[in-house]
Structure formats: C-alpha cells, structure tokens
Amino acid sequence: MELQNDLLIRAAKGEKTERTPVWLMRQAGRILPEYRAVRNKLSGFIELAQTPELAAEVTIQPVDILGVDAAIIFSDILVIPEAMGLPYEMIEKKGPNFPSVISSEEDVRKLKVADAESDLGYVLEAIKITKKELNGRVPLIGFAGAPWTIFCYMVEGHGSKTFSKARRMLYNNPVLADELMQMITDSTIAYLKAQIAAGANIVQVFDSWAGILSPEHYTKYSMKYISQICDAIDEVPVTVFAKGAFFARSEMRHLNCETIGLDWNMDIAESRRLIGEGKTLQGNLDPCTLYASNKEVENATKKMLDQFGTHRHIANLGHGVYPDTDPEKVKVFINTVKEYSAQMRSA
C-alpha cells in the first residue's frame, strides 16, 4: 500500500518536503472525548490495548479528528515486561504497577526473551487492522521503550521520581543489570521487527527516564542497548527520544538512526550543532504551551519552526501531550505547523 501522505517518512530520511510533518507524542488515548467513549465501554487500558479492533479505532481517531501526519499504534511500552513474564496492572489515575518486581538473579531466571508472535500477537493484529483502515492515508508509527526505561519499571515496579532501586542495581549488581537489559533488548528487537512486518512504517524508541542517569551510566547502560536496537533495525527509519539526555546529544550523532527527539529543555540550535546535519530532529514545544491562548500557541509554534528551519524537522511537543489539554489548542498547534511551514518554503 503506497502512502498518500509520506511527509513523516521523507522528513525522517532527510528528503525535501513541501511542509513540516506534525504529530504528537501520546496523541492517542489521552485528550479526546471520542477516546474516552471507547475506553469507558471496557474495564480499562489493558483490555482496550488487547482488543485489536478497538485499539485500531483509537489509533486512527487523532488522524481523523486532529489532522496529524501520522498515527501511533495504541499500546504501551510495558507490554514488553509482560511478554517476558512480568505482568503489569494499570491503576486508574495512578498509572502502571507491577505486582512482582526484579531484584535478584533468581527473579531474572524466571523471565524469558519475548516471542513477539505468540506473546504480543494482539499488538501485531491491531497494527494490521489499523493499516487496513488507514488505507495509506498517513504512516503508522510503531514503538517500544528503551531497555533502560523498561528496566526502571521492572525493578522499581511503578513510576518514581528517582528510580533509585533501578539505579541502585547499576552499582550493586551491574552484571545482573546488564543481563536483564540484554534480555529486554533482544525482546525489543524482535518486537519492533514484528511491528514492522505487520505494517509499521517507522519506529520510535522512548527512553523516558534517560535524564536520571549520570552521563557515564547513560553511555554504559542506555546508549549501549539503544545502539544495538538501531543497528538491528534496517527495514524502516528509527527515531530515538531520550527525555532529559541533553548530555548525550553529541554521542547520539553516532547512533544508527534517522531521527532524534528533543525535549523542550533542549536548545534547538545547540542540539543541531551537537547532533549534526546527518539526523532529522523531532520536537520540541513545551506541552504546557498548549494551555496558553490561541495566539500564544500560534506564536510559540512559529518561533519553534523558525528555529528548526525547513530541513530535517518533524514537529512535535517536547514530551507527551498532557491529559487535560484542550483538543482545540492541539488543532491550533497542528494547523500552525501546516500553514506556516509551507509559507516558510515559499518565502
């Protein structure tokens, strides 16, 4: 199936585009009343994610309602630990929780490398249905968590400001930490390849907890495994979004990936200098900008576009859209990107 709108893919590859493509991290399943209507029919997030027809429906909603240039498959990064043998639950208004966590060698022995087809078939099925229903309108983004971020949840059991249990293991049992992260990496590579085989046109690796590691540990425990993933995926473009890893930007220049995501703390010109001309940059409007007036959203978006320029940029927020954001403000952001970035090219 040929894509009618392939702006995102072309921008990722560094090709010329008529305008800057735009999508939002966490665009599905957060802000739309249409999403909540679907979700309220079910017991919760997990049931929705595991019901391929409905997962496909909420994946496509932002394309129809917001006009984004890509869909991202409705799932979560935590399906990988579950597929490895560590199930999670999603607690309403609180987030994910793992009833058991990994703290010893014995715990790691009980895990396995995920088998994408048998353990994550429901995601692959959702991708196939989504692709059919999208019918080539926009590309579909597949995704996974970076091994370090997944490790954080498997060791800590839930979200945390410091993830000090996870970081403690890097000091107290680095051999075990490496062993677990290698298993996560092998599972993730198999999973991303299966997403691509099912129809994902591009994949993104989310390293949401990159910013809590020291630069030294980041290289040793996160980049090491992200590099393996980038090297293993050659079928489609790869995006790496490492939130808070401002200290690792020059190192990211060497990753075997097409796009680097920037969070809103990262200066655009400085990032371009550090990362070089060889990569596309994605981002990076402060998600809180969308609480401002329409005029302010428009101005901030234009300023961001001016800073990135017309080449090798994918417009996005600097992290996921916040759940209480007004979808109308999201539309102002999206429409401003579309109109202003086209104008920039004809000026």
Interface residues toward ligand 1CP, by CB under 6 A: 26-30, 39, 44-45, 72, 74-78, 90, 92, 95-96, 143, 159, 206, 208, 320
Instruction: Provide the minimum distance between the beta carbon of 57 and ligand 1CP in the complex, in angstroms, as a whole number.
Output: 13
- Residue 71, beta-bridge partner list: 140
Cis peptide bond upstream of 316, omega within 30? no
Least CB distance to ligand 1CP at residue 344 (A): 27
Q: How far apart are CA 76 and CA 79, in angstroms?
A: 6
39 is catalytic: yes
Q: Of residues 153, 221, 225, 340, which has the active-site annotation?
A: 153
326 is catalytic: no
Q: Can 36 be counted among the known catalytic residues?
A: no
Q: Which of 19, 26, 272, 312 is catalytic?
A: 26
Pairing, β 89-91 against β 259-261 = unpaired
Residue 313 assigned as binding residue? no
- Asked about 272 being catalytic, the answer comes back as no
Q: Which is nearer to ligand 1CP, 60 or 272 (CB)?
A: 60
CB 116, CB 194: distance < 8 Å: yes
Could you give the C-alpha distances from 82 to 116, 120, 294, 345, in angstroms and in order?
Answer: 11, 9, 41, 46
Please state the closest distance from residue 208 (CB atom) to ligand 1CP, in A.
3
> Residue by residue, what is the 3-state secondary structure of 188-257?
HHHHHHHHHHHCCCEEEEEECCHHHCCHHHHHHHHHHHHHHHHHHCCCCCEEEEECCCHHHHHHHCCCCC
CB of 124 to ligand 1CP, least distance (A): 15
Nearer to ligand 1CP, 78 or 252 (CB): 78
Question: Is 306 noted as a catalytic residue in this protein?
Answer: no
Residues annotated within a binding site for substrate: 26-30, 76, 153, 208, 319
Question: What residues act catalytically?
Answer: 26, 30, 39, 76, 153
